[in-house]
Amino acid sequence: GQQVQQSPASLVLQEGENAELQCNFSSTATQLQWFYQSPGGSLVSLLSNPSGTKHTGRLTSTTVTKERRSSLHISSSQTTDSGTYLCAIDRANAYKVIFGKGTHLHVLP
Amino acid sequence: AQTIHQWPVAEIKAVGSPLSLGCTIKGKSSPNLYWYWQATGGTLQQLFYSITVGQVESVVQLNLSASRPKDDQFILSTEKLLLSHSGFYLCAWSLGDWYYEQYFGPGTRLTVL
């Protein structure tokens, strides 16, 4: 079945540093989304990016579909960016989703 | 504005007891609805999805069932809880299929003892 691997598993930064998160998946995906999960558990969609490069605020995602990988770049990190970043793809069914284990980001003041 | 509510916020239940978790979406008609589960420290897993009232599709079997009795309501239940059911349950909605952004509720934290 489809698998999603995220790296690194955890990342510690000083405020102001940039972060680069990776997502690799085992088979072609028609949709890929990045989510942020707060320490309390709530989930927010950050970017929908099945291919190419997309920007929103301090976030940039680049997905290379042929190479089955996506990255999420966070520029000028802030302490409020701390939490878990999840990558998710479709399971070859438009309504089915598989998530990676996430990257735990901790930004120090 | 659309709002999504989940109830209860948290629940502590005994093994073997029944469970019912609810999710309501206000301000959006005929949304697609989803249930997700996450064990403590684990990966978020999709459990069910529903495209229309009365129709629910299972994605992962965890001895749970789901129903959509109304357009804006999604219920997750079981007659007998297992220890392995502990975790965080999230409900989500979207306007269309997975290609569209999903909006998540605040979640329900379940502890089974």
pLDDT digits (tens, 9 = 90+) for A75-85: 999 999 999 99
Q: Are A11 and A21 in contact (CB under 8 A)?
A: yes
Which of B34, B36, B44, B103 to probe by mutation at the A interface, max A CB count within 10 Å?
B44
Give the closest of B51, B59, B106 to A96, CB-based: B59
Check A99 against B45: CB less than 8 A apart.
Answer: yes
Q: Tell me how many domains chain B contains.
A: 1
pLDDT of residue B44: 95
CATH number of the domain that A25 lies in?
A: 2.60.40.10
Does residue B98 surpass a pLDDT of 70?
no
Q: Above pLDDT 70, what percent of chain A?
A: 94
Q: DSSP assignment, residue B54?
A: T
CA–CA separation, A18 and A74 (whole Å): 6
Q: Tell me how many domains chain A contains.
A: 1
Check A41 against B38: CB less than 8 A apart.
Answer: yes
Q: Above pLDDT 90, what percent of chain A?
A: 74
Question: What value does the mean pLDDT of chain B take?
Answer: 93
In terms of residue numbers, what domain contains B28?
3-112
CATH number of the domain that B107 lies in?
A: 2.60.40.10
Q: Which amino acid is at B108?
A: T
pLDDT digits (tens, 9 = 90+) for A30-70: 789 999 999 989 999 999 898 999 999 999 999 998 899 99
- The answer to whether position A7 is within a domain reads no
Judged by average pLDDT, the poorest of A17-26, A94-103, B69-78 is A94-103
CA–CA separation, A14 and A53 (whole Å): 26
- The answer to whether position A1 is within a domain reads no
- CA A53, A60, A100: angle at the middle one, nearest 5? 90
What's B11-53 look like in SS3?
EEECCCCCEEEEEEEECCCCCEEEEEEECCCCCCEEEEEEEEC
pLDDT of residue B99: 67
Give the closest of A43, A98, A102 to B104, CB-based: A43
Residue A58 backbone class (left: φ over 0; alpha: ψ -120 to 50; beta: rest): alpha
In terms of residue numbers, what domain contains A81?
13-108
Q: Once rounded to an integer, what is the mean pLDDT over residues B7-26? A: 96
Confidence class for position B69, pLDDT limits 50, 70, 90: very high
Residues 6 or more apart from B5 whose CB is under 8 A from it? B23, B24, B25, B26, B105, B106
Nearest CA in chain B to A101: B43
